[in-house]
Amino acid sequence: MDDLPFQFLSSFIAITIPLIFVGFMLGKSDARRIILYFCWGTFAGILAYNLNNYFGSTWEQAERMTTSIAPMIEEICKGLPVLLFLTRKKPPQITTLIVICAMASGIGFSVQESMYYFAASPREIGDIATLVIRTLTTALMHGMTTAAFGIGLMVLAQKQRHTLIPLIFGLLAFCASTHALFNLLLQTRFAVIGVTMPIAMFFAGWVFLQSIKQNE
């Protein structure tokens, strides 16, 4: 097995199995669900890595990878388990838990991706600084785009259940577009806007959740 795929698999095993034991001990609680969504995110990192390699195998596809193919694949992989909140025929009121679980899935994904890029680096002192910057920008972006998917489902799914399928695809398209815009901005002279996007999304999401809690 190549070094980097082996890194993905070993990280997934080292992180996920202990957390599953923790989730088991927590019983049927919100904390357990959040931990399990984080575990899914680490698996989604492996899944997206392999799908990206498959769909980006040719030169033409590789050219479009960061701005079209990868954002769509990654947002679908991260967001899939969030749909479990909609599985009941007559679901109860969807709470802010869906947003936290969605963000946990995105953060789990970002942990795998950050470890992958660090493993591929020369692992010098400067790479530590790069890793810190990455966790404050790209990693946070992964968490917040998936959280945005959860927010959309929480706000719209119960009011628009008759158009649920188009709504899901529309939300995924929005998240993938935001992800693609972030990747695109980082390659231009407007990179500073891209860097601040995830932080702005984080505080906007935090304010949104606080307003919901105050109204409950």
Nearest to 157 by CA among 209, 99, 208, 85: 85
Whole-number Cα distances in Å, 188 to 184, 185, 210: 7, 5, 34
For helices 97-120 and 70-79, angle between their N-to-C axes, nearest 10 degrees: 130
Span of 1-15, 125-139, 174-188 with lowest mean pLDDT: 1-15
Average pLDDT of 201-207? Answer: 93
Report pLDDT for 23. Answer: 87
CA 26 to chain centre: 24
Nearest to 202 by CA among 149, 143, 134: 143
Q: Which residue has the higher pLDDT, 213 or 92?
A: 213
Q: What is the DSSP letter of 186?
A: T
Report pLDDT for 157. Answer: 73
Enclosing domain of residue 54:
3-215
Identify whether the C-beta of residue 56 lies closer than 8 Å to the C-beta of residue 65. Answer: yes
Identify whether the C-beta of residue 35 lies closer than 8 Å to the C-beta of residue 19. Answer: yes
The residues near 114 (Cβ < 8 Å, ≥ 6 apart) are 131, 134, 135, 138, 139
Helix and strand numbers (H, E) in the chain are: 9, 0
Q: Which residue has the higher pLDDT, 67 or 128?
A: 128
Question: Strand, helix or coil at 125?
Answer: helix
Q: Which residue has the higher pLDDT, 57 or 170?
A: 170
Cα atoms in the 13 Å half-sphere on the side-chain side of 93: 4
pTM of the predicted structure, to 2 decimals: 0.88
Residue 106, pLDDT > 90, answer yes
Q: Which residue has the higher pLDDT, 205 or 124?
A: 205
Report pLDDT for 216. Answer: 60
Report pLDDT for 74. Answer: 94
- Domain count across the chain: 1
Average pLDDT of 142-158? Answer: 90
Report pLDDT for 179. Answer: 94
Report pLDDT for 41. Answer: 94
Question: What is d(CA 164, CA 157) in angstroms, rounded to the nearest whole number?
Answer: 6
